[in-house]
Amino acid sequence: MRRGGGNEGLMDAEFVHTFFARAADWFRRAAAWPGEAWARRRAARALAEAEDRRFEEDYAVHYSPGLTKPPDVGRPFFLKPLGRVRGGVVLVHGYMAAPLEVRALGEHLRGAGFAVYGVRVAGHGTAPEDLADQSVAAWVSAVERGCDVVAALTDNLAVGGFSMGGCLALLAASRRPERVRAVFTICSPLRLRSSSARLAPSLLGLNAILKRFGAARPSLEYVDNHPENAHINYTRNPLAGVKELLEVMAETGRCLPRITAPALVVQASDDPTVHPDSAPALFAGLGSAEKELTVFQRARHGIVNGDGSAAVHDRVAAFLRQTLVQRPSPGAVLLEKAFPKPESTVDAASLTIEADSTPGDEESAEEDEALHTLPSG
C-alpha cells in the first residue's frame, strides 16, 4: 500500500484493474463471438486508463519542485499499430528512470505491427522520495499489471526491458510462464561494475541505529546521481532503492532456470554500469531452449536511445517477428565483429566465425556486423 497520501483513488484503480483483468480473461476463454474483439479492446483500454489514474494520483502526492519531471516523462504509454496487431509487447524502463526512456523503442515496435505498453514501475516518474518507499514486490506487480493490459488485447505476448527493467521482465516471465511467449533484456545487470552499491544495506542499517538512539537525522539517505538522460532520470538516488535493486538482481539470478520462453539478451560491449559478466551469466542461466545473446560495440549504458539505438531497436524487432509472428528457429549467440571472445561462462571452443558475413562498403554502419554463431544447446 502506498504511503504518504489517501488510498481511495488507489482502491478505485485496483478495483477497475481487477474487474477488467478478469473480464479479459473470460473473453479469452470464451468461444469466439462477434463482439469479442471489441470487448477485448475495451478491457485493454480500461486497464490502461486505470494505470494512468494510478500515475496521476502518485504524481500529485509526491510532486517535488525541482526534482519531479513533467508528467509526460512518467506517464505510462499504450501504442497500437494502425493495421493488424501482430502481437503485444510490454516494455519496462530502468531504475530511477520512467516510461519515456523506452518510448522510442516502443514507437519502433509499433511501426513493426506490435501493440506496445510502456509500464511505469512503482516509485518512478514522480520523485526520489516515492522511490525510497517502494519494494521489489511493488515493482514486479507494476509489470504484471502491464502484462494484464496487453494480454487483454492479444494472447501473443512478449515482455522485455532496459537495465533493471529487463530484470523485472524476467521475474514477471518466470511467475506467469504460460502467458509469456518471448522475453528480452537490454543491458540488464546481474552484477554492477561499481561495488559501492553493496554498501547500501549497511548504511541503511546504520541509519536505523542512529534513529533508534535519537539522532536528529540519518547519516545518509540519498546520493547524487549524474545520469545520461537527466530529463528522464532522478538526480537523487535513495539508498533504500539501491537495496531493492540489489534484491532484484539476486532474485533474477534465481528465477532464470524457470524461464522457458524464447529469450534475447542484448548488451553493450563496454557498458560502464553493468558488469561484463552479466550478459553471459543471464544467457547461461536461462532455461529457454531458444535463446540469443547479441553484444553491440557501445561504450555506454543507455543504448536504447541516442547514437546507435536504431540497430538495437531493429534487433529487438527482428527477435519479436521471429518469436511472435514467424515460426521460431533455434537460438544462437550473436556477437559483433570486434567483440573479444567470451569468457569462461561461454564455451569458446564451439564458437565459429561466418567468413562471408563481412558486409561490403556499400552497406551502412549499422549493418557492419560480422556474426559469430554459438548454438544455445
Q: What is the DSSP annotation of 295-364? A: EE--SSS-TTSSTTHHHHHHHHHHHHIIIIISPP---EEEE-TTPPPP-TTS-GGG-EE-GGGPPPTTS-
Cα–Cα dist 244/241, whole Å: 5
Fold that domain 8-208+221-337 belongs to in CATH: Rossmann fold (3.40.50)
Q: How far is CA 124 from CA 69, 73, 315, in A?
A: 10, 10, 27
Question: In this predicted structure, what is the pLDDT of residue 231?
Answer: 95
C-beta atoms surrounding 341 within 10 Å = 9
Can you give the pLDDT at residue 25?
59
* pLDDT at residue 281 in the model: 97
Contact 366, 296 (CB under 8 A): no
Supply the pLDDT for residue 38: 82
Q: Where are the domains of the chain?
A: 8-208+221-337
**What's the half-sphere exposure (Cβ side, CA atoms, 13 Å) at 225?**
24
Q: Which amino acid is at 60?
A: A
* 276 touches 302 (CB < 8 A): no
In this prediction, residue 224 carries a pLDDT of 84
What residues are paired with 36 via a beta bridge?
A: none
The C-alpha R_g of the chain, in whole angstroms, comes to: 21
Closest CA to 175 of 136, 126, 124, 229: 136
* pLDDT, tens digit only, all 377 positions of the chain: 344 444 555 556 565 566 555 555 554 544 455 567 888 889 999 999 999 999 999 999 999 999 999 999 999 999 999 888 999 999 999 999 999 999 999 999 999 999 999 999 999 999 999 999 999 999 999 999 999 999 999 999 999 999 999 999 999 999 999 999 999 999 999 999 876 555 445 444 444 544 555 555 656 788 888 888 999 999 999 989 998 999 999 999 999 999 999 999 999 999 999 999 999 999 999 999 999 999 999 999 999 999 999 999 999 999 999 999 985 434 444 444 333 433 333 433 222 222 223 333 333 333 333 233 233 33
C-alpha cell at 52: 494512468
Task: Please report which residue ranges of the chain form alpha helices under DSSP H.
Answer: 8-29, 36-62, 71-74, 103-111, 128-131, 136-153, 164-175, 200-212, 239-255, 278-285, 309-320
Cell numbers found for residue 93 = 524502463
CA distance 164 to 170: 10
pLDDT at position 93: 98
Decide: 161 and 282 in contact? Cβ < 8 Å: no
In the chain, what is the straight-line distance between the N-terminal and C-terminal CA atoms, in Å?
Answer: 43
Q: Model pTM?
A: 0.79
Q: What is the pLDDT of residue 223?
A: 85
pLDDT of residue 21: 59
**Cβ–Cβ < 8 Å for 184, 265:** yes
List the one residue out of 41, 46, 38 whose CA is nearest residue 20. Answer: 46
